[in-house]
Amino acid sequence: MGHEALPEGAEIKPIMHMNATSHHEKRQKESLTDQDGDLEWTGAVSIGTPPQNFVIDFDTGSSDLWVPSTSCHNQTCSSKHKYSASHSSTSAKQSGSFYIAYGDGSSVSGPVYTDKVVSVAGVTANNQYFSPAKHLSDSFASDPADGLLGLAFPGLSALGQSPFFNTAFSQKSAANNVFAMKLAQSGSELYVGGTDNSLYTGSIEYHPLVTSNQFWQIGNAQLQVGNNVTNSGFQTVIDSGTTIMYGPPSAVQAFYASIPGSAVYDSSSGYYSYPCNSLPTVSFNWGGNNWVVSSANFNLGQTQPGSGQCVGALAGQDLGLGNNVWLLGDSFMKNQYNIFSFAQNAVGFATLS
């Protein structure tokens, strides 16, 4: 998709309550806050000297860091924390400009800067490239996050620069070339530079990436309804920046065809409904364990009160990711511990404690 980031779906974004500067461990965990009924999780980032604090969406489906700047004067930025270059002694303007368009039609643009301190849970990247954005599209106005920090590969960077985590690891600020995420209504966490052993049990099941320097994309996927395999041999992008799950329209139609009582709910957006009280077990696997999407995480709510029909968290849309590529967002990630390893070029899953 070139420099386009993944669709944000209903957009999950990360926020920070921190005092990030009080953490000194190189392998550090950052609490995430569940926003707006699981639409997104937010955590904290500080930029500059002295630190300026922001609420951020940590997005495994893109690779750039941006926050609103004091030069953003439109209504979209009015309630957000804004970066002031003049108030940071380590700020430096760089050549070029930044523009990114997300799959939901939203976009962000601004100048390009570096700053000496960009801290996530005490992990620092010196001279990190980012954009203090001057223009945010209207859809960001209602977003509880100030900005976004991409955790995918450098090849997706619209800035054309090393993303935050890669910079931090190269500077030995992150102990290991891996990060991990737990997404839940409480106890959510981004762990930078390793895994939090207290959050999972058993071993981690790793799957190699099928793309190079792009998305966290793994192949040989299979989807089951109960014991019935409805789809197989497809690829999946694991994306914390998207709220639900998406597949090609014909493939998703085949999936719902295996659920008695299911029906098209919104053909324009690819949503389906199913009988609330009779959802079979839905699971994905990549040649190992079956990773079950719980009925609670699959259920987006009733089509209308008392209808008995609920909207499913798997929608059929052509996202422009290529043939047979699915996008698994938070509705999937909430069910297990998720590990993203640059060291192994792999995505891992483990059972939550």
Catalytic residues: 59, 239
Query: ∠ CA(130), CA(156), CA(42), 5° rounding?
Result: 55
- Cβ atoms of 240 and 12 within 8 Å: the answer is yes
* Distances in whole angstroms, Cα of residue 235 to Cα of each of 326, 331, 341: 6, 17, 18
In whole angstroms, give the CA distance from residue 287 to residue 205. 10
First to last CA, the chain: 36
Secondary structure percentages of the chain, helix, strand, coil, to 5: 15, 40, 45
Q: Which amino acid is at 43?
A: G
Name residue 273's amino acid: S
3-state secondary structure 172-208: CCCCCCEEEEECCCCCCEEEECCCCHHHEEEEEEEEE
Angle (nearest 5°) at CA 67 between 64 and 73: 135
Distance in angstroms (rounded) separating the CA atoms of residues 188 and 277: 28
Nearest to 124 by CA among 48, 202, 32, 221: 48
User: For 27, phi and psi rounded to 5 degrees?
Assistant: -110, 105
Cα 298 from Cα 262, distance rounded (Å): 14
